[in-house]
Chains A and B, each alone.
Chain A
Amino acid sequence: MRLLWRKAVNNIMLGLTAVCTLITISALFVILAYLVYNGGKSLDWNFFTKLPLSAGETGGGMANAIVGSIQIIGLAALIGLPIGFLAGVYLSEFEDKALAPLVRYTADLLNGVPSIIVGILAWTLVVVPMRHFSALAGSVALSIMLIPIVTRQTEQFLREVPMSLREGALALGANKWKMIATVVVPAGSKGVLTGMILGVARIAGETAPLLFTSLNNQFWGGLNQPTSTLTYMIWYRAISPYDDWHRQAWAAGLVLIALVLLANILARLVLARGISVPRT
């Protein structure tokens, strides 16, 4: 009787863990299904080619927001990737006793800072001195988020390069920087690139740091002007009272998630096959 009870508990609890898995993973499919259904209905060619119309008018697109997102994310990557990469090289190859743990600790700290607070920082650094919102401020905010991600990922992947490769290079007479540039970095390049793609994919989905840095623009923005982005437009359209704007929010959501998931799947399955990607 007692054994029967224990076996029953065993089966029920193990069954429950399977149910937990089912529920959590089905969330992903529910999200994707809703987006594809609602977004697919709303997505048309105008979305990519036309400028947004005023409130209440039907039609129009988000061409400016697409270009704006590319500008802001591109510039953020240009600032953030080199800084993050070189800081990662430092942590893995040159670590000093005092500074390296401090850099590692602050990178983790920055990684955990809520994105809205990074937005405040970019606001004080760029928007306040310039006295107006700009794409540049948005890029600065996103690059601040990107730097710690790339730093820690680069460090991890370079550390995985086997010691024997480094010793081989040194034994052949290479000095340290040559060893790093010609042996260590190429050997770890796949992982480093994966980390970079995942980092950029992550900042591409950020909205909060853009709310009071790059803001929004009805027309084409520019580096020095408020600029519209896809993520801002999803938020702005979704909380509006107009049906046609809701339709556009779904379309923008579908485009955004397609790009972000594509980057993730490409990086994780194709580029990083067999490499375990550390969490950020």
Chain B
Amino acid sequence: MATTATLIQPKATSKQQVGDKVAHLITLIFAATVVLVAVILVFELWWQSAATRQKLGWGFLFSSNWNPVTGEFGALPFIYGTVVTSVLALAISVPLGVGAAIFLSELAPAGISSALTFLVELLAAIPSVIYGLLAIFTLVPLMRSYGEPFLKSTLGFLPFFQGPAYGVGFLTAGLILAVMTFPFIISVSRESLLAVPREQREAALSLGATKWESTWQVVVPYAKLGIVGSIFLALARALGETMAVTMVIGNDPSIHASLFAPGYSIAAVIANEFSEATGTLYPAALVELGLVLFCLTIVMNGLARLLIIATTRKGSKRV
């Protein structure tokens, strides 16, 4: 864009060029600030976690003992809790979210579709501490008295649904994360479904497919990459989500197969313990947990962006 403008520009006098150069330089400095912030972030995460990395090495990631008083630091319970709650959240939100995206892009009239999408966007705007507030006072008691006893009586033969129902734990955290990831899955999936060329649908319908067959066998496969991208985006959000999870996961650094049991996540332990961490190893261990979380979300976000870019390009090329 900028290059075409320069080509068209007639030969400028030197005074004019000075103004342009100054403007260029000023904006460049601010743009470089963005890069600088990212560099400092990575550097600080690496530097501040040096103490535990040197003392504990890779063992930190695979140890499941967390006892700051005796100086034992292991990341495994937190990584486990983060991954279990996020995967659980996606297991709930992916079918519901993709279903809603199909409805919004294929069935609903354009006006209603955009109105409903606006409501979904509002869901994304709700602060996470509000989700936590609602979860702690409404979802937790509901899960304790109805949800978990129900699962226990119906699916109790599975190891995931055994043990006492506390209300707080992996399952409740996964549920609230599911609601929080709806907007990402719905709006990104809807966009990639809308980018599928009209001809694809018409061809399937003219061959005698029903509306659902055309949607499920033609449109959805065509938009597959974008939908998978939306799932990775939601996963990145779920992994890094702090407040809502902190308030309902139960804050117990141990590994349980049962989803009813209280657990802990990386973001939650940093939130709860960082301001009180003393000594050198304790804060360093928490920063190293932050580094682990950072790497996880970077990978998920990177994959999401690649996939989303790939589908929107494909769609626009063939339209």
B-contacting residues of A (Cβ < 8 Å)? 6-7, 9-10, 13-14, 16-21, 23-25, 27-28, 31, 34-35, 38, 82-83, 86-87, 89-96, 99-100, 102-103, 106-110, 112-121, 123-125, 133, 144, 147-148, 151, 159, 163, 166-167, 170-171, 175-180, 198, 201-202, 204-208, 211-212, 215, 231, 234-235, 238-239, 246, 249-250, 253, 256-257, 260-261, 264-265, 268-269, 279
Contacts and interface: CB of A to CB of B under 8 A. Distances in A.
A116 to B, nearest CB: 5
B262 interface: no
B125 A99 contact: no
**6 nearest A-B residue pairs (beta carbon):** A114-B240, A205-B127, A20-B99, A177-B23, A90-B27, A112-B301
Contacts of A112: 236, 240, 297-298, 300-301
B30 interface: yes
B83 to A, nearest CB: 14
A62 B271 CA distance: 22
Contacts of A108: 301, 305
A13 B216 contact: yes
Interface stretch (B35-43, B54-62, B156-164, B195-203): B35-43
Contacts of A147: 33-34, 37
Interface string B217-250: 0000000000000000000100111110011000
Interface of B: 1-2, 4-6, 8-9, 12, 16-17, 19-20, 22-24, 26-28, 30-35, 37-38, 40-41, 44-45, 48, 95-100, 102-104, 106-108, 116, 118-123, 125-134, 136-138, 179, 182, 186-188, 210-213, 216, 236, 239-243, 246-247, 267, 270-271, 274-275, 286-287, 290, 293-294, 297-298, 300-301, 305
Nearest to A103: B31
Contact of B293 (A117, A180, A212): A117
Contacts of B287: 120
Given A121-B40, A125-B44, A205 B5 contact: no
A170 B133 CA distance: 55
B102 A261 contact: no
A66 to B, nearest CB: 15
Contacts of B22: 177
Contacts of B104: 21
A171 B10 CA distance: 8
B40 A125 contact: yes
A133 B40 CA distance: 20
B301 A167 contact: no
9 contacts: A25-B100, A31-B126, A99-B32, A109-B298, A151-B34, A175-B16, A204-B127, A212-B275, A238-B137
A175 B35 CA distance: 28
Contact of A83 (B30, B98, B187, B305): B30
A218 to B, nearest CB: 16
Nearest to B216: A13
A120 B22 CA distance: 35
Given A34-B138, A176-B9, A257-B126, A7 B37 contact: no
A117 B134 contact: no
Contacts of B270: 116, 119-120
A198 to B, nearest CB: 8
Contacts of B131: 31
Contacts of B186: 24
B243 A109 contact: no
A17 B103 contact: yes
A59 B128 CA distance: 26
A211 B132 CA distance: 15
Given A103-B35, A116-B271, A120-B44, 6 more contacts: A24-B186, A86-B26, A147-B34, A175-B9, A207-B242, A264-B122
Centre residue among B9, B19, B120 by max chain A CB count within 10 A? B9
A133 B276 CA distance: 12
Given A17-B107, A107-B34, A115-B242, A201 B48 contact: no
A261 B41 CA distance: 31
Contacts of B1: 92-93, 95, 159, 163
Nearest to B287: A120
B45 to A, nearest CB: 7
Nearest to B214: A10
Contacts of A83: 30, 33-34
Contacts of A269: 118
B242 A86 contact: no
A120 B95 CA distance: 35
A99 B31 contact: yes
Nearest to B33: A83
A87 B34 contact: yes
A114 B241 contact: yes
A23 B275 CA distance: 38
Centre residue among A24, A92, A171, A264 by max chain B CB count within 10 A? A24
A175 B122 CA distance: 42
